[in-house]
A and B are shown apart, each in its own frame.
Chain A
Amino acid sequence: MLPLVAQRVALGLLTLLAVSVLVFAGTEILPGDVATAILGQSATPEAVEAIRRSLGLEEPAALRYWHWLAGFLHGDLGNSLANGRPIIEQLDFRLKNTLFLASAAASVAVPLSVGLGILAAINQNGSFDRIVNIVSLSAISLPEFFIGYVLILLLAVKLDWFPSLSAISPEMSFGERLYDIALPAATLTLVVLAHMMRMTRAAIIGVMSHPFIEMAFLKGLPRWRIIVQHALPNALAPIINVVAINLAYLVVGVIVVEVVFVYPGIGQLMVDAVSKRDVPVVQACGLIFAGTYVGLNLLADILAILSNPLLRVPK
């Protein structure tokens, strides 16, 4: 098993490296370079040349990539083009906020969706299962901002239970911050809940056709016990996989949700940077998002290997 895990980790690191190349190449090699992006199309050639020199753009691309990556690994993300300040200053607080929001949403969404999925599987083709099915099918089709604005309208404006904007600041206590992010976290939860729940249900039902389940039925065990004790452990690998994929999706969905709730996170920072065409900031945010995404997928692979009893025994 260990070689398998090591292989996965190596493959994951390789993917990360390839992703960093793509992030770099995507913003550097495309036509239209950073210097013209800053100055606009009407800039004089001399001005463009001066900016290019100050940014080190006359170096070959491979060398620049190396400097960029080495800097990134040392926590030096370069300077923002828009205000000239180090990117890490803006990123630090915002990254923590985004992680706070995403983990709050995940800690609600994962237990809830796996629990509901198990309930739906126990009650297969019953009324609960059917209602859950219809609701989740339509929830998949809803854009994040639709869910966000409906929640704002109902819970913030009409009922006045939660704030509609989540402008949190470092001085706030943990409880205050948690209260402030209630609505964005709920939106994110709803966005991933349906998919995770359906897949949990499908994974368990997929196991139900195995002979050992039939054996358990013949022994006279109640349905809920068969599902919880016999089917669930065997459905763990696909469930873990789906949870990780959805967490990865959550990391991306956070961008739109942050804009809806004007939440000071890294997603909002990235969107602002794109509209200002602040390429270094976009690169830094992009690499963080992509790295998290790759990392979560890697984690899913490893957990799936660990949860498979066949791979746990040395051959």
Chain B
Amino acid sequence: MRLLGHRLSGGAAVGFAIILANIVAISFARWIAPYGEADLVGDVWAPPSGADWLGLDNLGRDMFSRLLFGGQTSVSLALLITALSFSLGIVMGFTAATTNRWIDAALSRLVDIIMAIPQLILALMVLSVLGTSIPVLIGTIAILDSTRVFRLSRAVAMNITVMEYVEAARLRGEKLWWIMRREVLPNALPPLIAEFGLRFCFTLLFIASLSFLGLGVQPPEADWGSMVRDNATAINFGGIAPLVPAAAIALLTIGVNLVVDWFLSIHGRAHGEGA
């Protein structure tokens, strides 16, 4: 099988299949889900059966349907945050690389300090002051995450801004924004796309962890992390309820990682090869 003119490895095929299945399941959740998000259909933590094949949750709701709806929250939040952190990080990184030394030094030192503290710790501190709500969650994680994107995009852009065609554009009198968009960005895309996949995984896990700690998505909204939290006590009775949403997170992460691995391997080659 080939994609974009490249041979698809076995791992990448599995990865694409996982991602595709997730996209379909989540986008068409309303039609696929056998029950509504809040429908009580049976006993609390009923084991898997023919009708509800992932069992029931802590209130007796169908786990499979909840998983689909929870996935909408988890995945769309992670996508939105990653997109935000990328826009922010790339603009800052390219600015640092293309403008003067002082802006670069100031931005870099600021990012160094933020990265000297573990992200979870910083996020917890911000949440303790601002309280937990979806907009705060999005803003905080996007800003914290943009520091990593800044590092990468600055490093990539540094190598590009010394090229002759950028010099030529400067001499032509092109504006900074135009140079960043038309000269630097297209040439910096492959490593940034791979990074996007990895950051998406990280964000997905990060939101899930926060929700698991009770500091992320709040009821009545649910995401995969808060579903783990809600069903946590079932584990003591030998139930698998908390493992189901946790496995969903793990599966999607593995899928994205497999695709990123493949993507990096095809772009690791010298130019003109393969493509």
Interface, chain A (partner B; CB < 8 A): 15, 18-19, 22-23, 26-27, 30-32, 34, 37, 137-138, 140-146, 149-150, 152-153, 157-158, 164, 248-249, 251-252, 255-256, 259-260, 270-271, 273-275, 277-279, 282-283, 286, 289-290, 293-294, 297
Contacts and interface: CB of A to CB of B under 8 A. Distances in A.
Interface residues of B, number: 42
A252 B118 contact: yes
18 contacts: A22-B113, A37-B129, A144-B209, A145-B228, A146-B246, A146-B247, A152-B235, A248-B118, A260-B232, A274-B124, A274-B215, A275-B132, A279-B128, A282-B128, A286-B122, A289-B118, A290-B121, A294-B117
A142 B228 contact: no
Contacts, number: 141
Contacts of B201: 141
A55 B237 CA distance: 46
Main secondary structure of the interface of A (DSSP, over half): helix
Given A26-B125, A286-B121, 4 more contacts: A19-B117, A22-B122, A143-B209, A271-B213
A286 B125 contact: yes
B254 A141 contact: yes
A164 B235 contact: yes
Nearest to A165: B236
B126 interface: yes
A282 B117 CA distance: 14
Contacts of A289: 118, 121
The B interface is mostly helix, strand or loop, or mixed, namely helix
Contacts of A15: 112-113, 116
Interface of B: 112-114, 116-118, 120-122, 124-132, 201, 205, 208-209, 212-215, 228, 232, 235-238, 240, 242-243, 246-247, 249-250, 253-254, 257
B230 to A, nearest CB: 12
A65 B253 CA distance: 41
A274 B128 contact: yes
A44 B16 CA distance: 56
A185 B236 CA distance: 19
Given A274-B127, A279-B128, A146 B121 contact: no
B74 to A, nearest CB: 12
